[in-house]
Amino acid sequence: MTFIDYYTRMCWVYLLKNKFDAFQTFKNFHTWIENDAQSHIGSIHTDNGKEYNSNEFENYLCQHGIKHQTIVPYNPQHNSVVERMNRTILNMVRSMLFFKNVKMMFWAFAVLCVVYIKNRCPSNAIRNKNPYEMWYGHIPLVKHLRVFGSTCYALIPKVHRNKLGARSHKCIFLGYSNTSKAYHLYDEVNKKFFVSRDVIFLESSKTDNVVEMKLDRLDRFTNAKSLQEFDNQITHLEGGIPILYQSVESSSEALSPLHDTPMMHDTLSDVTDRIGRLNLDSVPTQSTEQPGPSEKGPPKWMTKTLESVHPDEVGKIGTRNSNRKNGGNVDDTNSPVDMDVSYDCEFN
């Protein structure tokens, strides 16, 4: 049952089990609204439902001097404000339920939460003010608003826990309490509804999936043939879980150190220094003789790379490497290097 004030667009919703409860609900709302607004109801506009056209309902309106207006049968557009509000509420409820995959059993909490939020949203009908501001005369606070259906952890009071027990339990956020400054929560483990103000919310789905993604990644790596784990030190830990890199198949070729790999932020001198550390003296140069059937030649990528390097430059690179081993200084300006080597080679 929806009530809307035409001037402020303030909305109230009551959930009824049966239609014959509408009369008693209206009586309760009438008493409350007169105390809250310090004013009386002048007229009401309803449809032609039987719950609004009963004799007891009409007698109650006459006793309190309330004018009753109805719409033409089968013309809901005459009650456009309420009908439009009902459509807006249903659209918002549908979006909230599907956004967090909330069970349909919580649709009633979603309706109450939508009305609570809608009363605090600006409206063009009241010059971009919100209904709460128009009704109470001050701007409402919205810093306590949370995502409906998000996972949260409610604090367990000290009287209900021991020193070694859990201090919170996992719950689902279902809205805001109308009688206290607290949140409506649902405990899936104990199957209980309760209210609490000491709550930590995990509104972002990304936060909820961090641990699950890491655990799934570890499960995939346990089924791999071989793993490569670099220095299981404190600097390589994220949330207590070691960082596992991609699996590397066993090979007879030696892997280059991790610090010799060119980075995107390295300068030209850094790249040349990294190339100088490679011992290219032991790399066979291009030869006119083709290797025999039993001989294994250099890899294809090394052959293509050496074709673009002058033999004199390879010798100079080896000289720079030997000077560095003997403690000598290397002058980058006197040691020309073909920079295609650093970008054609792939150092793993």
What secondary structure does DSSP assign to 210-232, as a single string? Answer: HHHHHHHHHHHHHTSS-------
Looking at the domain assignment, is residue 253 inside a domain?
no
Looking at the domain assignment, is residue 252 inside a domain?
no
Structure tokens at 53: 């056209």
Looking at the domain assignment, is residue 11 inside a domain?
yes
Greater confidence, 207 or 189?
189
Q: Is the pLDDT of residue 10 over 60?
A: yes
293-305 mean pLDDT: 54
Looking at the domain assignment, is residue 264 inside a domain?
yes
pLDDT tens-digit map of 239-297: 433 434 344 344 444 444 444 455 555 555 665 666 666 545 445 555 444 555 545 55
- Predicted confidence band at 146 (pLDDT cuts at 50, 70, 90)? very high
Looking at the domain assignment, is residue 279 inside a domain?
yes
The H or E element spanning position 132 is helix 131-136
Collapsing DSSP to helix, strand or coil, 177 comes out as: coil
Q: How many folded domains does the chain comprise?
A: 4
Is there a single domain that holds both residue 198 and residue 214?
Answer: no
Is there a single domain that holds both residue 194 and residue 82?
Answer: no
pLDDT tens-digit map of 110-142: 999 999 999 999 999 999 999 999 999 999 999
Is there a single domain that holds both residue 224 and residue 265?
Answer: no
What pLDDT does residue 225 have?
41
CB atoms closer than 10 angstroms to residue 172 = 20
Task: Using alpha carbons, list the distances in angstroms from residue 239 to 47, 215, 234.
Answer: 59, 12, 10
Task: Using alpha carbons, list the distances in angstroms from residue 89 to 11, 12, 111, 296, 305.
Answer: 11, 12, 7, 75, 67
Is there a single domain that holds both residue 270 and residue 340?
Answer: yes
Residue in 36, 57, 39 with CA at minimum distance from that of residue 48:
57
Collapsing DSSP to helix, strand or coil, 1 comes out as: coil
- Predicted confidence band at 163 (pLDDT cuts at 50, 70, 90)? confident
E-assigned strands of the chain?
Answer: 2-4, 11-13, 43-46, 67-70, 151-155, 168-176, 183-187, 192-196, 199-202, 237-238, 241-242
Is there a single domain that holds both residue 189 and residue 108?
Answer: no
Pairing status of strand 199-202 against strand 237-238: unpaired
User: Which residues are registered as beta bridge partners of 170?
Assistant: 153
Say if CB 302 and CB 346 are below 8 A apart.
no
pLDDT tens-digit map of 22-80: 999 999 999 999 999 888 999 999 998 889 999 999 999 999 999 999 999 889 889 99
Looking at the domain assignment, is residue 15 inside a domain?
yes
Is there a single domain that holds both residue 302 and residue 179?
Answer: no
Question: What is the rounded distance in angstroms from the CA atom of residue 232 to the CA atom of residue 216?
Answer: 19
Is there a single domain that holds both residue 212 and residue 309?
Answer: no
Is there a single domain that holds both residue 127 and residue 7?
Answer: yes
Say if CB 26 and CB 17 are below 8 A apart.
no
Looking at the domain assignment, is residue 248 inside a domain?
no
Is there a single domain that holds both residue 283 and residue 298?
Answer: yes
Residue in 284, 288, 265, 266 with CA at minimum distance from that of residue 275:
266
- One-letter amino acid at 319 equals T
Say if CB 120 and CB 108 are below 8 A apart.
no
Q: Angle at CA 66, nearest 5°, toward 63 and 68? A: 115
Looking at the domain assignment, is residue 142 inside a domain?
no
Is there a single domain that holds both residue 37 and residue 111?
Answer: yes
What pLDDT does residue 183 have?
96
What pLDDT does residue 257 have?
45
Range of the domain at 158: 151-203
* Sequence-ordered list of residues with C-beta below 8 angstroms from that of 329, at least 6 positions apart, any chain: 323
Is there a single domain that holds both residue 46 and residue 112?
Answer: yes
Domain-terminating residue out of 185, 215, 242: 242
Is there a single domain that holds both residue 157 and residue 225?
Answer: no
Domain-terminating residue out of 242, 266, 293: 242
198-202 mean pLDDT: 90
- Predicted confidence band at 94 (pLDDT cuts at 50, 70, 90)? very high
Q: Angle at CA 233, nearest 5°, toward 245 and 260? A: 60
| Domain containing residue 10: CATH number | 3.30.420.10
Structure tokens at 167: 């201090």
